[in-house]
Amino acid sequence: MIAHIIPTNIDDRLLSKGVGALSSGGLVALPTDTSWSIVCSYKSKDGIKKLRAISRERDEQRFTLLCSELSQISDLCNFDNSRFRLINRLAPGPYVFILKTLSMTEKALNLPRREIGIRIPDNPVPIALIKTLGAPLYSITAKRTMLSQPIEEDGDEPEAMLFDNGWELEDIAGLDLIFDSGEDQARLFSTVLDVSGDEVVVIRAGAGAWPR
């Protein structure tokens, strides 16, 4: 299940393997510039169903669409010039932008609300996978609560629930593939900015500085 990947020299065969898993409704775990994420193709109803089940989350705001470039965002959400300038200034990076969705996106994801989080991660692995798949990835942060036998971490910090290494994710039932560089992964949360209205609202302060 673990595929060892070199972020600076990604093997096309590994990307094809990842695309195969995603296209058949599978789930892939991968590193980002903050922490480990679990993803499916946003075009796969089976993948979305599995991702929601494995996450054990009922709040859809905890899910994020990962994109590889700004043009993908305009295909998914309402995206005017002011929002373009803001996102272009901060992305790629540890920021999630809450935007109002287009009706096709709302329908594809069967969303209970008109907003969705969008992110362009500053990590070559998800970017390469998105480009090879040709579609954004629906994602959620991998947490220890997803393990078959959840492990309690010492400390009250939320970061304690995140993973360091790819092999730790092998005990999450339902994963089809783990892209692992063999390096320790940061335990960070992204900064979540609601830009769906007239003013930018900080939903969660995280690794990305704001204001910036």
Contact 195, 21 (CB under 8 A): no
Please name which of 114, 107, 100 lies closest in space to residue 42, comparing C-alpha atoms.
107
Instruction: Name beta bridge partners: 96.
Output: 192
How far, CA to CA in Å, does 10 sit from each of 32, 158, 163, 181? 15, 31, 22, 10
Reduce the DSSP state of residue 178 to 3 states and report it.
strand
DSSP H helical ranges for the chain: 12-23, 45-55, 70-76, 81-90, 103-109, 124-133
Between helix 124-133 and helix 12-23 the angle, nearest 10°, is 60
According to DSSP, the β-strands at 28-31 and 191-194 are unpaired
Q: What is the pLDDT along the chain (212 residues), one digit of tens a residue?
A: 899 999 999 999 999 999 999 999 999 999 999 999 999 999 999 999 999 999 876 666 779 999 999 999 999 998 899 999 999 999 999 999 999 998 888 888 888 778 999 999 999 999 999 999 999 999 999 999 898 776 655 556 788 899 999 999 999 999 999 999 998 998 999 999 999 999 999 999 999 999 87
DSSP 78-109: ---HHHHHHHHHH-SSSEEEEEEBPHHHHHHH
Enumerate helices (H) and strands (E) in the chain, giving the number of each.
Answer: 6, 10
d(CA 190, CA 204): 8
Reduce the DSSP state of residue 139 to 3 states and report it.
strand
CATH assignment of 2-204?
3.90.870.10
Instruction: Name beta bridge partners: 31.
Output: 36
Considering the entire predicted model, what is its pTM?
0.93
d(CA 199, CA 174): 39
